[in-house]
Amino acid sequence: MLRYAPGPDPYFAYKLHHVDRARTAWVLAEEFGVFEALRQGPSTIPEVSQRTGLQERPVAVLLAASACLGIVGLEQGRHFIHPVMRDMVLEGGRARLRPRPPDPEKDWWYRTMKQAIQTNAPVPEELPPWVAHPDDEANVDVTAFAPERHGWRVLWGEALATAFDFGPFHRVVDLGGATGGVLVGLTGKWSHLQGVVFDLPYSRKTAEAAIAQSGAAERVRFHAGDFFRDPFPEGIDVCFLSHVIHDWDDEHCRQLLARCYQALPAGCPVLAQEFLLNADKSGDVLGVYQWFGLLYGTMGDQRTAAEIQDLMAGVGFRELDCRPIDSDQSIVIGWKR
């Protein structure tokens, strides 16, 4: 649910960032008839998909977003409109609320998400650079160094350092590690660790600058390459994926995890960090609206811990585990035995 608890919240800014996404999800659920599709009672995702003409993936996302707003409930795999909300979101309701659709010419987010939901496909002109131009080393502007984003990742790395025992290991590779912030934070807490950022060539310039600015150049380095095609860095004994699994469909996830399995020595782990969804694919604001945002640039899927564990098990990882890193993020762990 979209709610806040008392006390410190390191994700407050990120949650506020999702307010516009929440409003857009409400508008689009109305426009595509998701609520009217639930008028007759609790329904499955395939049933809502058939009634709205949308494919199941965007329907699942819109239903989860509506549940996060408190409009829709979920029980035993069937979604329903809460009784008090029926008067607000269904035609003829006593307190009918109709969101005002934005001007698509002026609202990029609304226009893009509407197209993504209609097609269940990334919007070609809005593809992220790592999809559109994976080999373009000159395209450095797309990863322009944002100190606050690098700083967030440093804090994530410090939190990760307390959630997992890195004592037995020596070299961690962060696949798709951007500016290396997680490794800066992690290796700052575990001084014996070396970190390697494995990311596309165009990330090199800003990553190396951010790592140097953080005073971590002696313990974190950059390795350019495509983690689906190119050899992994040598000597690694931990594979770490921070918000990478959600970018890809199941087949690509299996390919990537299989490459991790092949690269690791026996007795070593893979760690996948995510804002996990609940077992029924519902969730809180960060996981749900991150899932919503995936629609326009990827064919990925926000996942549950069990779904990620199934992907890991399918390529050979064993002794699967899941544990929190902080109030909102978790790591899913698999071991090569």
Q: What is the pLDDT of residues 272-328, one digit of tens each?
A: 999 999 999 999 999 999 999 999 999 999 999 999 999 999 999 999 999 999 989
Res. 195: pLDDT tops 60: yes
Q: What is the pTM of this model?
A: 0.92
DSSP annotation string for 48-97 = HHHHH---HHHHHHHHHHHHHTTSEEEETTEEEE-HHHHHHHSTT-TT--
Residue 6: the pLDDT is 73
Higher-confidence position of 126 and 241: 241
Angle, vertex CA 24, rays to CA 23 and CA 29, nearest 5: 100
Average pLDDT over residues 174-188: 96
Residue 202: the pLDDT is 84
Average pLDDT over residues 148-157: 89
Res. 145: pLDDT tops 60: no
Q: What is the pLDDT of residues 128-142, one digit of tens each?
A: 766 666 666 555 444
Q: What is the pLDDT of residues 65-110, one digit of tens each?
A: 999 999 999 999 999 999 999 999 999 999 999 999 999 999 999 9
Cβ–Cβ < 8 Å for 309, 280: no
- Give bridge partners of residue 220 from the DSSP assignment: 195
Residue 143: the pLDDT is 47
Write down the catalytic residue from 17, 82, 246, 252: 246
Res. 127: pLDDT tops 90: no
Q: Give whichever of 11-15, 101-105, 185-189 has the largest mean pLDDT.
A: 185-189
146 vs 13: CA distance, rounded Å: 15
Which residues are within 8 A (CB) of 10 and not within 5 positions of it... i.e. 6 or more apart? 155, 326, 327
Residue 148: the pLDDT is 73
Which residue has 């390795």 as its token pair? 223
**Of 44, 93, 30, whose CA–CA distance to 280 is shortest?**
44
For 12, 46, 106, 133, 197, the CA distances from 17, given in Å and listed in that order, are 9, 30, 19, 27, 27
**Of 214, 217, 213, whose CA–CA distance to 196 is shortest?**
217
Res. 144: pLDDT tops 70: no
Residue 133: the pLDDT is 67
Average pLDDT over residues 10-24: 89
Higher-confidence position of 127 and 282: 282
Q: Is 246 known to be catalytic?
A: yes
